[in-house]
Amino acid sequence: MIELTCSGDNPDQLINNERILEDIKRFEEALDECNNALRFNPESADTWTNKGIILFYLGRYEEALEAGKRAIKLDPESFMAWNNNGSALSSLERYDEAISAFDKAILINPGYSDAWSNKGKTLNCLERYEEAIIVCDMAIQRDPEYSDAWNNKGNALSALGRYDEAISAFDKAIELDADNNAG
């Protein structure tokens, strides 16, 4: 579960904590909406996928994985459900299973940059940095504006001691995040 602390007198920290709490409240409301929708249509793979995403963001990884499994059972070609299951498995430190799930998402939709980037992040966890760089480059090739892929690549480069390249990748991620958060 997500643990929050609201201690301290820093106004910026208190505002940030408030925003986090607001976001969690929205996720809880969204989860309620998914559960209501599933009461009417328990065979909706999209709703099960959405429920898995919400549970993941709430830090409820086992439940997210189960929701994803339901989505995949209903729609085995749901690349988003496969990707989400990979993310949940990676968060549970079940890295080999996560990579298999990302590979399935990539097989179904090779253009889905999230799956490539998430696989790269997981390969970093396994200290398979050279592979991670290749996979992150695949994500970047598909979506050059994807800051997470640049960040994951930077982490792999840094772990290999390729600091100048890592700084360039991190700079690109920061630039893209600034662009995405502007306006």
| Tens digit of pLDDT at every position of the chain (183 positions) | 333 333 344 444 444 554 555 567 788 888 998 899 899 899 999 999 999 999 999 999 999 999 999 999 999 999 999 999 999 999 999 999 999 999 999 999 999 999 999 999 999 999 999 999 999 999 999 999 999 999 999 999 999 999 999 999 999 999 998 865 554
Within 13 Å and on the Cβ side, how many CA atoms surround 114? 13
* Number of structural domains the chain divides into: 2
CA 33/CA 39 separation, integer angstroms: 10
Domain endpoint, select from 45, 70, 94: 94
**Alpha carbons 5 and 44: distance in angstroms, whole number:** 37
CATH number at residue 160: 1.25.40.10
Residues 62 and 21 in one domain: yes
88, 16: one domain: yes
Instruction: Confirm whether 125 is domain-assigned.
Output: yes
Same structural domain for residues 86 and 126? no
Position 113, amino acid: S
Q: Are residues 82 and 18 in the same domain?
A: yes
Q: What is residue 12's predicted lDDT score, i.e. its pLDDT?
A: 46
86 shares its domain with 19 = yes
Q: What pLDDT is recorded for position 101? A: 98
pLDDT score at 25: 76
The 10 Å CB-count burial string (b at 16+, else e) for 152-161 is: bbbbbbbeee
Q: Is 89 within a domain?
A: yes
What per-residue confidence (pLDDT) applies to 21?
Answer: 54
Instruction: Say whether both 134 and 87 belong to one domain.
Output: no
| 120 lies in the same domain as 86 | no
